[in-house]
Amino acid sequence: MAEDGLAPVKRIGMVPERARLHIAMTVFQFGYAGNHVIMRGALNLGVSKLVFPLYRNIIALIVLLPFAYFLEKKDRPGLTPSFLIQFFFLGFLGITLNQGSYIFGLDNTSPTFASAVENAVPAVTFIMAAILGIEQVHLTRKDGIAKVLGTLVSVAGASVITLYKGPIIYSPNPSSEKSDLLLGDTREKNWTLGCICLIGHCLFWSSWIVLQTPVLKKYPARLSVVSYSCCFSVMQFCAIAAYFERDPQAWHIHSGYELFSLFYSGLVASAMAFAVQIYVIDRGGPVFVSAYLPLQTMLVAIMATVALGEEFYLGGIIGALLIIAGLYLVVLGKNEESKYSTEKVVIISSLSDNNGVEGPSKSSLIQPLIDC
């Protein structure tokens, strides 16, 4: 009954908000999965690991700024020194350190491994959000058990894809020359350094996901938060690249593939990813965002099979099924949590009405902090 009362409010347009969040995160993971392979190809062609992310974020900033300025012109709060400091650190932590550690980690490992390591993000994000009180975890209730179990199952599924091959299910006669071009030969790379950088990448990404939530509560203009953070990151990358990258050739674009990878990373993996991610964080919470990351490992494995002609193993099938099951459990837990919160508010509202006290406003019903 309570849900029926909320249904008209929760639906904007023809698609319910819950469905929009799931669609947004699925599109996000498809785009980011492709970035792993495309970025690896760019690194093999010798792009600068400092100049490339600078150009990438300049493109993202150019795309985001007009939307942030015009769409949030009336809703954007005034800038204060406190907000500027928060945006500076969000840019430094979530973009500069995040992308910097990722590109050095990817350069020394492989796309599949980089994607697999990122599956630590859901667990780390879940722990951080629970410690800070952003994500409520009730282990004595069905919703809490489902969220914890779903996160663990998804991570386990991604680990199976990475660690267990099993018998070959599909063999498309791969072209080793094509695979070497895009995936690269990591035998001469520093695998240990790559692993350390990717672990740092996961920590920075998890921190960024979690810390955006309290910032959005005080500055509820999503695209503006991302744009300011991206602007500070461009300044930071510019200073770092200007100091360390002294080779003039490193600042030039030498091929069409470099240009393509640059625009793909800037438009899809940065501009679109930033906008989608902060939208879902604001409406669904940080754990909802991170819970979808294991899907990326499955997508990278499929892309490698279809586009690069790699063999597909039984481990990939098992891992994919576990990832889907884990995501279903997380979604189930979030739905149960939403129902519990709605019922609780309705009960309190009824008690208040019986006592002659005005109940809570509609805004408390339609905009909970964590909702799916």
pLDDT tens-place string over residues 348-360:
555 555 555 544 4
pLDDT of the residue at 133: 80
- pLDDT tens string 168-189: 776 665 444 444 444 444 446 7
170 φ, ψ (degrees, to nearest 5): -145, 130
- pLDDT tens string 14-52: 678 778 888 888 888 888 888 887 888 888 888 999 999
Sign of CA dihedral 316, 174, 186, 271: negative
Residue 326 has a CB neighbour count (10 Å cut-off) of: 24
CB 366 within 8 A of CB 9: yes
Residue 84 has a CB neighbour count (10 Å cut-off) of: 12
pLDDT of the residue at 170: 65
pLDDT band at residue 92 using 50, 70 and 90 as cut-offs: very high
pLDDT of the residue at 82: 95
Task: Write the CA distances from 267 to 121, 282, 349, 362, integer angstroms.
Answer: 23, 21, 45, 37
The pTM for the full model equals: 0.74
* Cα 13 to Cα 19: distance, rounded to the nearest angstrom: 12
Task: Write the CA distances from 339 to 100, 128, 145, 344, integer angstroms.
Answer: 41, 24, 15, 9
pLDDT for residue 346 is more than 70: no
Sign of CA dihedral 24, 283, 281, 317: negative
